[in-house]
Every structure is written in C-alpha cells, then in structure tokens.
Structure 1
Amino acid sequence: MPYRNRSLLSVFVVFSCIALGFSQEILTVEETVKLALKNNYEIIIASNDLKIDEYGVSPGLAGMLPSVEASISDNNSIQNLSQTRLDGTVAEQDNAKNNSLNYGVALDWTLFDGFGMFANYEQLKENKKLGDAELKQVILSTVGDVMVTYYDLVQQQQQLTALDSTIQISKQRVELAQNRFTIGKASKLEVLNAQVDLNTDLTLMKRQKELYANTKIKLNQQLARDLDTDFKVAPEIFVDETLLLPDLETMVVNENPQLLAMEINKRIAELELKQIKAARYPNIYATTGYNFGKSESSLGFNTSSKSRGFSYGFGATLNLFDGFNQNRNEKIGKLDIENTEIEIAQQKQELLALLGSTYQTYLTNISLIELEGNNEAIAKENLDITVEKYRIGIIPTIEFRTAQLNYINAKVRFSNAKFQAKVSEIVLKQLAGNLSV
C-alpha cells in the first residue's frame, strides 16, 4: 500500500475513534449544574439553614404572643402529730394523713416593651433574607467551581485528542525512518531518534490521561455522586463575548450576594439598636389564670378545704438607673451601624476593583482565542508541508520534530486560551451575581 494511502487510512482511523467516543452519552454543562444544585453537600446544608431561618420568622419567637402554662401539684404526707390547743387540751394522732392538691392554667402576656418585640420580629425577617443571600452565595460559588472543573475537562479532552494526533504522526515517522534505514537512505540514529520521540509522546499521553481521570473524580465529588461514574464532556468551549463592564458594575452593586448580605447585616444592626432603646420605656404585662386547690388533714381545726376561681392582674416595670449601661449600649449600637456602613463601602470598592481587573483579563483572553486559533492553523499547514518533505527525504529529523511540537503546542495554547476566557467569563458572572448556563 502506498504511504499516502496508509497515512490517510491512519487519519481516518483516528478520527473514527474520536467520533465513536463522542457518540457516547455526553454530560452537558446544564446537566452538570442541575446535578450540583440537587446533590452538592454545601448547597443542601445552606438550604437547610435557610429553612431554619424561615421557621424562626414567628410572632411567638419575637415575644409578641402570650404564654399559657398549665400546672399541677399533689403533695401527700403521713406523720405522727401532737397539737396543744388554746384551751390546754392536747390532741395526738399517729399516721395522720395530709393531702394538698393544686392545679390550674395561667396566662402571661407582655403588652408593651418599648416596641422591642416589633424590632425583634423585623430582625427575624431580616435573618431569613440573610439566609437567602448566603444560600445564593453558596450556589454561585459551587456552580462556578463545578463549571470551571467541567470546562477544564473539556480542555483536557481536547489536549488528549491533540496528543493522539501527534502520536499517530510519530508512529508514521518511525515507520518512515525504518523504511529509509532498510533501503540504506538513513542511519540507525534516525530510527532511534524517531523511536525516542514516539516514547516521549506516549509518556505525555499517559500523564494527560492521569490528569483527565483525576479531574473526572473531582467533578464527581463536586456533584456528590459515585466517584467512579464514567462520563464524557462536550467537545467544545463556547465563550460569551458580549459582556460589558458598565452592565457588570451595575449588577455587582445591585445583585452581588456578599453586598446584599452586608446590607442586611446593617439593617439587623439598626434593629438591634431599636431593641436596646426599648429598655427606656416601661414594660407592661398582664397575667390571668384559673386555679383549683384542695387540702385534707387528719388532725386540726379544718379537716379539709377547697378553693377555685380566676385570678388576674397587671404590672409594669421601668428601669430608672442601671449604672449608665443603657447609654453605653446605645453608643456601642450606633458604632456597630457605622462600622457596617464602612464595611459595605470597602467591600463594594474591592468587588468593583476585582471586577475591573478580571474584565481586562477577559478581554485579553478573548483576543488570544483569535490569535491562537490562527496560530494553530498556521502550525497545521507547516506540519503538513514538513511531513511531505520528510517523506521524500529533503529535511532533517530535527526540523520534522520541531514542526510537530509547534503544532501540538499551538493546539494546546488554543484550547487553553478558550478555557481561560471561559474561566474569566464565569468569574465575572459570579461577581455580578448572575451566573447561569
């Protein structure tokens, strides 16, 4: 079979294997994100924390509702009694039985506490909002990590394809060198060099397969599923090149979950100050209840007695002096609010600075995609010409290997440029609080 036909057959076999691999079921990035939202441990924990905050939004927990308590007590005794009465007579009885039974229902209700209960109820609502923001932050962080790992696998899969292509070329080179040696047109050194380069490519392939397998384990771990689950990822990376910095800055200010959480914490600090100020007002409460009492005695003037009926009352307390603690606590509360305002301004500046630098990286990576894509095409054309020249024996081995390495490096750089651009896109959308697939 002529060499050109053998070469075409080899290329056809390589691409047939690749097509067969990609014909298998592919795990899309959308499916990956859905699995992460369903199974990831950190997301589940954050979701449960939010449910706890939701259960906490209750007027009863805020102290706005009355408390009702039922009680019962039954006391008994057996004693040897001796009583001396006013008239001088003495009454004695051994094993005298005494019994006292009391039961009833009591209601206590704080009617006014300086509006502290209302501030407390609003704080419980803010805690729920804080849980929402924290859950959103966990989701953004987890989904971002999962997507980066996913596209890292896409990049590694592309590198495996590139390495597989170069191995086929190296095998052809060994075969050519062996044929040239057989007919006396090349030295044994040329055959050995070709074999060494082939072994180098095979070693690189093994290392790349190891990295690919480890990254698949990492993604399975992030998806909280069987670590041995096998899958393939999409063959290509598509980058959103339409992101604009002004739009992203607006979303950071309005939707970033870290900023939202800090704004909520400021509101909570304001409500805590209201609760502190409530101590300046009187605390008014009401009590009522229904009680039943019964007592029996074997010895005494009254051998039994019973009582039943309602009880009710009102009360109020007012702090007149507590060692200036009230003033001190209010000043501390105001400083806490001031600190949260400063922290919000600081965090906003840090996020916008990070957004700006990441956006510049994003623009650079997008420009590198076009550059490296053109470079790959040039390297491929150069390799094709070099292979043909080597086949007819008009270029040395080192020039062939250089063209081969230039091609594989160009493919790797092109794949890496797309991956880095995608990572920049994911980070920008994370900062903007608007990461979706």
Structure 2
Amino acid sequence: MRRIYLTTLFLVALLGISTGFAQDPVLSKQEAMKLALENNFGIKVARNQVEIAENNQSILNAGFLPTLTANAGATYNRDDIVVEFPGQFDENGQPRPDFELNKAEAQRFNTGITLDYTLFDGLGRLYNYKSLQEQYQLTELQARETIENTLLQLFSVYFEVARLTENVNVFNQALRISRDRITRAEYAFEYGQNTKLDILNAQVDVTNDSINLLNAKQQLANAKRDLNVVLNQNLNETFAVDTVVNFIPRLELDEFIATAKENNVALLQTEKNLKINEYDIKVSRSGYLPSIGLSGSYGWNLNQNPPSAFFPGTNNTTFNMNLGARLTWNLFDGGSTAIRVKNAKIAFENQDLLKKQIELEVDRDILNALNIYENRLAIYAIQEQNVITNENNFARSREQFQLGRITSIEFRQAQINLLNAQTNKNLAKYDAKLAELQLLQLTGQLLNIEL
C-alpha cells in the first residue's frame, strides 16, 4: 500500500515538473508548409531535377546552332646533314668535297577555324527540341507530385502532433480529477465517511492516469521529432501546433471533383508522356529524309625551311579559305529506320493504353477517397455528439458521487468513458482532415487551398 502511494507521489511530482516549462511558440500550418517547401530534402532534389530538365530543353542542347572549331599547331625540326658526291669532280678535276649542313632548323606553324552547320536533317532536330520541352514540363509535374506527397506526409505528422497534444490535455484533465478524488477520499476517511479502500482506489487511478500522461507526452515528443525530420530542422526544436481544423464546404469539393481530370498530376503526366512518344515517332521518321549542311574553313600556314645542298632556305606563308555544301541521303540503312518507327508507334500505343488505365484508376481512387472522407466526417460528427453525451453523464456522475449515491468504481467508469470519447473524437477529427487532403491531392487542388 505504501509502495503504491510513493509511486503516485513520484509520478505526480514528475508530471508537475514537466508541465512547468514556458509555452512553446506555435508552428502554424502555413509556416510548416513554408519550411517544408524550403528545406525538405526530397523537394530540393526534385527542384534540381527540374533545373536539369530546363537546361536540357534549351536551344543550346537541340542542335540548331552551328559548330565552330578552332585549331592551331606548330612543329620544330633540326637536322645535321652530310651530302657526299661519289664519282663527281670539281672544275679542277679534284673529287667534289662533301657538303655539311649543321643545325638545319625547320619550323612550321598553322592555325585555322572551321564552321559546320546543318541546314536540314529531316526535321529530327525540331521534334527533338519539342520533345525536350515536353520532358521539361513532365519533370515539373513530377516535382509537383513530389511536393504533394511531401505535404501529405507533412500534415500526416503535423496532425499526429496535434492529436497527441489534445490527448495530453485530456490526460492532464483526467489526472486532475483523479488527484481531486484522493483529496476528497482522504477528507472523507478522516470524518469516517468511507474506508481506506476508497483512498487506495483513488491512488491507483492517479497512478494509471499519470502513466497514460507520461506515455502520451513521450509519443508527442517522438512525433515532434518526426515533424522536424520532414521540415529538415533541428530534431530537438520545440514548438506547439495549431489544433483548429476547418473542413472545405461540400459544394467546393464537388467543383474540384468535376475538374479532376484536368488537374490530377498523374493524368497530366500521362498526357506529357503521350506527347513525348508522339514526337519520338516523328524523330524516327526523320531518318527517311536527306540531310543538308554547309561547311567553311579559313586557315593560315607558315613553313620555314632551312637551306639544302641544292636550294637556299625558304619561308612559305599560305592563307586558305574553303566553302562547301553537302547532301546526305541514306537511301537504305538496312531497315533500322523502319524498325525504329514501328517500335515508336508501339510505344505510343502502350502509353495511350496506360493513360486509359490511369484515368480509370484515378476515377476509382477519387470515388474511394470521397467515400472514406464522408465516412470519417460522419464518424467525427458522431464522436463529437458522443463527447457531449459523456460530458453530461460525467457531470451527473460527479454530482451523484459527491452525494455518496454511486461508488468510486461507477464514477471512475464514467470518467474513463469520457476520456475514451474525447481521444476518439480527436482521432476522428484528424482522420477526417487527412482524408480530405488525400481527396484534394487526387483532384489536383492540394497546392491551391488554404488549410
């Protein structure tokens, strides 16, 4: 008995210490969204992918511009030459002497530029450029999908923090009521109105409520760390959250659902992929057409030659310019172009089938999400009414308990019923809001509404 009493005192003291800190600043939903959009690792990676796609869709990557190449070179050569004249005589009839040339240096320098430009390549560049633009827009849609999924993850954790925050308040209230029971039981025992058993029952209930409160606070601390991970900030960052939840009017939801096919990110991605496959067919067909190009070059050469046995040294300087045109037509490439065109058409057909499948799945997902949302909203309304009923029942039970007309066990049961009703209402509220957010994502409106 003494052990239970000491344990109760310890838990009460611990909870008193833990609730004595200053109030944490409130992290609003809008601020949480802002932090996630700025700091979340997944969103940063998605934005980098968009930047890569934007670079790729530039005209600098499409092959429309000419190529200009510069080149330069220099060579150096040194020779030591001995020329013999066997069987030859000079004018005096003497054998002709050998000719020696030491350190004969030759130098050559050249520089030039070459310009090459493709005037026509069967329209392959044009359709490839358009395909790159579609790929850029597809990457933007993929980044949007990443942002939407991250925000769903964010609010899933944010609302869990809010739910646990409200649960902590509920358990705090239950603990205060149980503490008050101990005080009343001790006074009643002193005046001989009840037995020691009532005090022990109250102490057991305080112990249980203290443990429930400690567990709820631990879960809340863990959930806050999970939220800090999503926000990419210090894991020990402390804050409070907004527990107010507003639901979108049904009429507005119906408008979102009616325009879901124009805004759903998965459907928009399938349309972009279909357009890319269409351009792939046209790029493949460009292999049937000729290629026409122009080329030009301009160069400068300097050759410095040493003297030889028969010729003096020379310096030759040359300037040259070259202009040309070319026509290339692959009349038959073994059938590879025809195969590429056929495969591109099959890929287009597959993408079209995939689009139809995703359309059907999105319709199903929206209907399921709407039914889940309506069901959870109805459960929340029932739980709200259940809390009111249990509050009235608890108030009556408290009056009857104070008058001695019901036992402490009956009073405790009324308290537990109220506690369960309050925590169930908290769960139903945030479950309904998450179901609404999932429905908004499917309709493509998650990023367009105020939470």
Asked if these proteins are the same fold (TM beyond 0.5), I'd say yes
Query: Aligned equivalents of 1:218 and 1:84: distance in 2?
Result: 94
Q: Distance in 2 between matches of 1:363 and 1:193?
A: 42
Say whether residues 1:48 and 2:48 are aligned partners: yes
d(CA) in 1 for partners of 2:297, 2:282: 32
> Cα deviations across residues 138-172 of structure 1 (Å, max 9, x unaligned)?
22111222122222222211111111111111111
In structure 2, the CA distance between the partners of 1:243 and 1:137, relative to structure 1 (3 Å rule), is: farther
Q: Which one-letter code corresponds to 2:78 in the other structure?
A: I
- Alpha-carbon shift at residue 236 of structure 1 (Å): 2.2
Q: Deviations over 1:173-215 (max 9, x none)?
A: 2222223333333332332222112111111101110111111
Displacement of 1:259 = 1.6
Q: Which amino acid aligns with 1:37?
A: L
1:358 maps to what in 2? 369
CA contact (8 A) 1:245 1:356 kept: no
Instruction: For residues 75-124 of structure 1, give each alpha carbon's deviation from its aligned partner in whole angstroms, at most 9, with x where no partner exists.
Output: 11223346799x99986533322211110111000111000110111112
* Alignment correspondent of 1:140: 148
Secondary structure, counterpart of 1:212 in structure 2: helix
Equivalent position of 1:67 in the other structure: 67
- Listed one character per residue, the Cα deviations across residues 49-88 of structure 1 (whole Å, up to 9, x for unaligned) are 2122222222231111101111101111223346799x99
The aligned counterpart of 2:428 is 417
Alignment-derived partner of residue 244 in structure 2: 236
Partner of 2:292: 284
- Partner residue of 1:261 out of 269, 277, 285: 269
Q: Structure 1 pair 377/77, CA: closer, same or farther in 2 (3 Å)?
A: same
RMSD of equivalent CA atoms:
2.4
Q: How far did residue 368 of structure 1 move?
A: 1.6
Q: Following the alignment from structure 2 to structure 1, what is the Cα–Cα distance between the partners of residues 443 and 207?
A: 47
Counting matched residue pairs gives 418
1:15-94 alignment runs, 5 A limit: 25-81=25-81, 93-94=101-102
Worse-matched range after superposition: 243-252 or 395-404:
243-252
What pairs with 1:212-231 in structure 2 (closer than 5 Å)? 212-231=220-239
2:412 corresponds to 1:401: yes
Counterpart for residue 9 of structure 2: none
Task: Name the structure 2 match of 1:180.
Answer: 188
Q: Which residue of 2 aligns with 1:211?
A: 219
Paired position in structure 1 for 2:13? none
Report the secondary structure of 2:233's partner residue: coil
Are the aligned partners of 2:57 and 2:129 in contact in 1 as well (CA < 8 Å)?
yes
Q: Could you say which residue in structure 1 is the equivalent of 2:340?
A: 329
Cross-structure match for 2:324: 313
Q: Name the SS of the counterpart of 1:104 in structure 2.
A: strand
Match of 2:390 in 1: 379
Structure-2 separation of matches of 1:412 and 1:31? 26
Report if aligned partners of 1:154, 1:237 keep a CA contact under 8 Å in 2.
no
- Take 2:265 and 2:251, find their aligned partners in 1: how far apart are those partners? 20
Letter in 2 for 1:309: N
State the one-letter code of the partner of 2:324. Answer: G
Change (3 A) 1:279 1:84: farther
The 8 Å contact of residues 256 and 445 in structure 2, kept in 1 or not, is answered as: no
Matched residue of 2:107: which SS?
strand
Alignment match of 1:368 (pick from 379, 393, 399): 379
**Aligned pair 1:304/2:315, yes or no?**
yes
Q: Give the TM-score, by structure 2 length.
A: 0.87
1:184 is paired with a residue whose SS is: coil
Separation in 2, partners of 1:304, 1:148: 83
Q: Which residue, 155, 158, 168 being the options, matches 1:160?
A: 168
Deviates most, 24-33 or 127-136: 24-33
8 Å contact kept, 1:293–1:308: yes
1:356 CA drift (Å): 0.8
Check whether the contact 1:362–1:425 (CA below 8 A) recurs between aligned residues: yes
Tell me the equivalent position of 1:169. Answer: 177
User: Gaps spanning 5+ residues in structure 1: where?
Assistant: 1-16
Is 1:99 the counterpart of 2:107? The answer is yes
The 2-side partners of 1:231 and 1:158 are apart by: 14
Contact 1:239–1:418 (Cα < 8 Å) also in 2 = no
Deviation at 1:345, TM superposition (A): 1.2
Secondary structure of residue in 1 paired with 2:59: coil
Question: Distance between the aligned counterparts of 2:84 and 2:106, measured in 1?
Answer: 18
Query: Contact between 1:255 and 1:433, CA under 8 Å: does it hold in 2?
Result: yes
Aligned partner of 1:11 in structure 2 is none
Aligned in 2, Cα 1:340/1:63: closer, same or farther, shift over 3 Å? Answer: same
TM-score, reference length from structure 1 = 0.89
